[in-house]
Amino acid sequence: MINEFLYAIFLVFLILYLGGALKLATKDDLGPFKPLNQLSYGDLKKVINNSLKKRLMDLSTQDVENIIEGMLNQLIRGQSLIMMSNL
């Protein structure tokens, strides 16, 4: 239980830290005219696997694979919330 809590806190800080990079990666993959509130699960998965991963590697970030894997796991956990927001 504590491990999950610490992991969740880590991911929140990671997302806050990577927020700008994630936004830019979204624009790289999907173009500048797709509103962030209209992104689907597939769009987000593509952005994380492609552009965000490349940006992190370009920044010489350590442990990129684990960061991407953690973000994808959180995306899977929140998939139903993403789908509900698109209704």
What is the reported pLDDT for 40? 80
pLDDT digits (tens, 9 = 90+) for 32-53: 888 777 778 888 889 889 998 9
Measured CA to CA in angstroms, residue 81 lies from 33, 34, 59 at distances of 23, 19, 31
* CB atoms inside a 10 Å sphere around CB 53: 18
Residue 84 has pLDDT above 80, yes or no: no
Helices and strands (H and E) in the chain: how many: 5, 0
Domain definitions of the chain by residue range: 2-85
Confidence category of residue 85, pLDDT binned at 50, 70, 90: low
**Span 71-81, average pLDDT:** 78
User: Which of the pair, 3 or 23, is modelled with greater confidence?
Assistant: 23
How much of the chain, in percent, has pLDDT values that exceed 70? 69
